[in-house]
């Protein structure tokens, strides 16, 4: 899920961090030693939310809690995916929508939307650069914002690439959607038996992005990633 988590406040990526958990252990001589516990601590963090603009004294990102425990977040997203899979009509709707999209001028409408998003991002980049050049923005803030723009650009590009790929393999994709639809009941019945790896794969196939909102709320955007549905592991399930 690492590339899928974004800040709902400032729009930059929530980075996944992993660190060893340590605990203080008292030694026989009375001193205290920091020892690894063998457990790891994982969290997702909005780097912008953590950064305070020194010049203006305010936060560039207004999210209430810029750090989210990874296990907790992943479980929340999985609950969302589960709810989706447990409602066959929703899955069927998604499949129909996906098919309709393909049928409409060969998904050109969505290609346009996505291309426009890239154009908008470029406009945003220019605005930020101008603000920096005019001295309205300190350099650390520029760096952080530029990184956010770059990350979103990469995400949009990869979504565009996936869409082009789907277009070029239209027939195969239609078959996959049909077989996913046909076996969605089997999939529902095996939800509790999925290994962690399978669970992650399922999330990858059905979640386009997760926005973290203030108050530790999340917004899960779902898709049907046909490329993932087509992969070996899914094929085995279908």
Count of CA atoms in the C-beta half-sphere (13 A) of 129:
7
For residue 224, the Cα-to-chain-centroid distance in whole angstroms is: 14
Segment near Zn ion (CB under 5 A), from 8-16, 21-29, 73-81, 155-163?
8-16
Under the binding rule (CB under 5 A), the answer on residue 77 touching Zn ion is no
Segment near Zn ion (CB under 5 A), from 56-64, 69-77, 104-112, 188-196?
56-64
For residue 72, the Cα-to-chain-centroid distance in whole angstroms is: 15
Binding-site size for Zn ion (CB under 5 A) equals 8
CA distance 36 to 203: 31
Which bin fits 210, alpha (ψ -120 to 50), beta or left (φ > 0)? beta
Under the binding rule (CB under 5 A), the answer on residue 49 touching Zn ion is yes
Q: Choose, by CB under 5 A, the member of 48, 137, 206, 210 that binds Zn ion.
A: 48
Q: Choose, by CB under 5 A, the member of 5, 61, 121, 210 that binds Zn ion.
A: 61
Measured from the CB atom, the residue of 67 and 181 that comes closer to Zn ion is 67
Q: What is the DSSP letter of 216?
A: G
Strand order of the β-sheet with 5-7 is 5-7, 207-213, 217-222
For residue 29, the Cα-to-chain-centroid distance in whole angstroms is: 49
Under the binding rule (CB under 5 A), the answer on residue 212 touching Zn ion is no
User: In angstroms, what is the minimal distance from the CB of 180 to Zn ion?
Assistant: 34
| Bridge partners of residue 33, in order along the sequence | 25
Which bin fits 63, alpha (ψ -120 to 50), beta or left (φ > 0)? beta
β-strand 5-7 against 207-213: which pairing, if any?
parallel
Measured from the CB atom, the residue of 53 and 231 that comes closer to Zn ion is 53
Q: Choose, by CB under 5 A, the member of 1, 4, 5, 7 that binds Zn ion.
A: 7
Under the binding rule (CB under 5 A), the answer on residue 210 touching Zn ion is no
Under the binding rule (CB under 5 A), the answer on residue 60 touching Zn ion is no
Under the binding rule (CB under 5 A), the answer on residue 9 touching Zn ion is yes
User: In angstroms, what is the minimal distance from the CB of 24 to Zn ion?
Assistant: 32
**For the chain, where are the E strands, in sequence order?**
5-7, 14-26, 32-46, 67-69, 207-213, 217-222
Under the binding rule (CB under 5 A), the answer on residue 5 touching Zn ion is no
Segment near Zn ion (CB under 5 A), from 46-54, 100-108, 111-119, 166-174?
46-54
User: In angstroms, what is the minimal distance from the CB of 87 to Zn ion?
Assistant: 31
Segment near Zn ion (CB under 5 A), from 62-70, 127-135, 141-149, 194-202?
62-70
Asked whether the CA dihedral 168, 158, 63, 69 is positive or negative, the reply is positive
Per CB under 5 A, residues contacting Zn ion are 7, 9-10, 46, 48-49, 61, 63
């Amino acid at each position: 899920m690492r590339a899928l988590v974004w800040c709902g406040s400032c729009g930059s990526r929530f980075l996944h961090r992993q660190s060893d958990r340590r605990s203080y252990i008292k030694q026989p001589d009375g001193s205290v030693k920091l020892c690894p516990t063998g457990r790891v601590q994982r969290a997702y963090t909005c780097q912008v939310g953590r950064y305070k603009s020194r010049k203006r004294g305010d936060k560039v990102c207004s999210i209430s809690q810029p750090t989210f425990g990874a296990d907790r977040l992943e479980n929340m997203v999985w609950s969302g995916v589960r709810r989706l899979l447990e409602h066959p009509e929703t899955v069927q709707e998604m499949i129909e929508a996906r098919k309709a999209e393909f049928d409409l001028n060969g998904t050109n409408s969505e290609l346009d939307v996505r291309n426009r998003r890239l154009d908008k991002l470029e406009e945003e980049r220019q605005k930020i650069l101008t603000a920096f050049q005019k001295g309205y923005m300190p350099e650390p803030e520029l760096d952080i914002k530029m990184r956010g723009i770059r990350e979103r650009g990469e995400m949009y590009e990869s979504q565009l690439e996936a869409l082009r790929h789907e277009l070029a393999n239209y027939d195969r994709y239609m078959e996959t959607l049909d077989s996913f639809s046909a076996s969605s009941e089997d999939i529902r019945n095996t939800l509790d038996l999925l290994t962690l790896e399978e669970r992650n794969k399922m999330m990858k196939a059905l979640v386009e992005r997760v926005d973290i909102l203030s108050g530790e709320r999340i917004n899960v955007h779902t898709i049907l990633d046909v490329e993932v549905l087509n992969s070996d592991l899914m094929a085995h399930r279908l």
